[in-house]
Structure 1
Amino acid sequence: MNDSSRGSSPGAGYWRAPEQPHVSAGPVYDGGEAAQTRPMPPVPDAAGGPQFRDESPVPPERHSSATPPPGAADGGSGPGASAPPGGRRAARTKKRAGRNLPAAIGVGVGLGAAVIASLFVVKAVFVGVVVLAVIVGLWELTSRLSERKGIRVPLVPLAVGGTAMVIAGYLRDAEGAWVAMALTALAVLVWRMTQPPENYLRDVTAGLFAAFYVPFLATFVVMMLAADDGPWRVFVFLLLTVVSDTGAYAVGWRFGRHKLAPRISPGKTREGLVGAVTFAMAAGALSMQFLIDRGVWWQGLLLGLAVAASATLGDLGESMIKRDLGIKDMGTLLPGHGGIMDRLDSLLPTAPVVWLLLVIFVGAV
């Protein structure tokens, strides 16, 4: 789900070599492409390091040249003086993933345990978890739109309507979700009328996008839950999405060479995509054979392929949004991950895909 999952080498268009030699062994970032979610104090070039979690620092060896800069040979203190051996070793051992892996792993394991516990204890508790994630995700998205673009999206009708969408999807299936979506859209239109008319069309359009992107897509998760074997369907959905992301990260980090979409997410590689497809198809075959009633292994292969495709598109879609807004993450709620939306980016578009394929393969109940 983070952009770091598809490889680690920097992409063309986002990194450039410095025009003058300096102490830093790290890359120089072209700040015109994106910015942090919050203003940050200037950082000297010697700090190095990536500005986005989907971009990784160039190894020090790549900055070497045939002619050493002045001061490098004699250990002087000029602009080209070489860093001490300890500094070079530290630079080489920097995490290429561009994020705090211990924090990311700890938070991920904790969240996973809480979600799985709520999923298999009481279905209604898991529905509450989905509602909470939807509300926080809407808050993050609308806050970033307001901060970066000045778009005034009414959060109250979105939060109320999003809650109604999730509950209606669980109780009344797709029909209930569509009715709640229509009422939410109407509420956004009316609520925005209480403010000046300038940019009305822009604001309500963004509100409708937010209503569809977060709560409506999330209703497919609780629609899977409503089936007799619903907890196992949701578990397979979560498992395949996580396995796809893990496979992409592992293979891309080790073998990634060819960029998948450098102008959108420089960290993603074609090799990482192959890893996502391979891991997800293997996990899908095992899951459909052993975890889903009436499921067979070949259906799992197709399911895994579809999950890898939708999860990758979800990652790229949110990366495009963040590039447009000029931010690093959607939020800071989860250490090592960013915000809730940075975790939902691949889950949300994958939910309707898994729901539909499971209905086709094994039925709705």
Structure 2
Amino acid sequence: MEEFALLRRLYRNMAAAAVAVALPLAASADDDQLSVSMLLAGQIDDNGFMEAGYNGLVAIRDELGAQIDYIDGVKPEPELLAAALRELAADGPDLIIAHGGQNNQAAETVAAEFPDLKFVVVQGAVTGPNLSSYEVLQEESAWLAGAAAGLLTETGTVGHISGIRVTPGLKGRGGFYHGLMHTNPDAKFLTTFAGDQDDNELSYRVASDEIDQGADIIFTMLNAGRTGAIDAMREHGVFQIGNVRDWYPDHPDVFIASAIANVSVPGLTAARDLAEGRWEGGQIVKIGLEDPDAVSLALSPDVPEEVRSRIDGLRQDIIDGKIEVSTDYDGPELTY
């Protein structure tokens, strides 16, 4: 196992070196070149959260001329995540980004073991002398998505599907629920954390069950497992609200909206802060609707103008502090 780990690290370093050669000569020849490593607890081609994080790492390379490295495909278990972080830390990069709130515990542990390195958790909630969290407030776009669902539902029943119970997902679900209640307090809300972000058979079954219970709009916070939900909704003529990015161009017959939370932004923002001397440990940096490149609600062209106008007003109310986005939820859940 140790030989395999060494070979894997050698391969990754060779790949990173090859990337650096492709960068401008000044960046690759600079002894002070920024080095950034990233841990992704999933696949970089999942069409969702992990791919967005990887895109942020690529942007760090392209914008800042940084040398980059990453590990993906790690199961979201604290021991495995900690081991991967230690592997990245052994190379001594300037910054290690743990992408996703499922890394909170592992990052807190490993950052304490490597006090001379800087760590960031994207969508995290942990801090330390050499550890900060950078978070896009996806609960704000989720709140707007819930508000839109409340205005658009015809059955009066709205669903939500997610996989693992991590803090950002729980906050997104809570934000969506409160947005729904704001515009349609009589709506019935169906929700589940089914246990897996990437299982298409599971997401198809869960979506079908919520549709059978009357849901005509379902908010999905999934990664590679989104395809199963899309298939179920297409079969039944039900609309989906996506997350992370705008899904309408890919499936215009299914997506009525997308609660955009561009999670490529936090890692890039952290790297910019480090490169420009602004990075500090011990803080949580929050990025919300005031930055539309990071957080927004994209609506289908089929959404009526009166709904668009109402959502625009609610967005401004959140920015102005007239509406506080609550993220709590203690109601019933579907179990599988």
Q: What TM-score does the superposition give when structure 2 sets the normalisation length?
A: 0.24
Indicate the structure with greater strand content.
Answer: 2
Indicate the structure with greater helix content.
Answer: 1
- The one of the two structures with greater contact order (alpha-carbon pairs below 8 A, sep at least 6) is 1
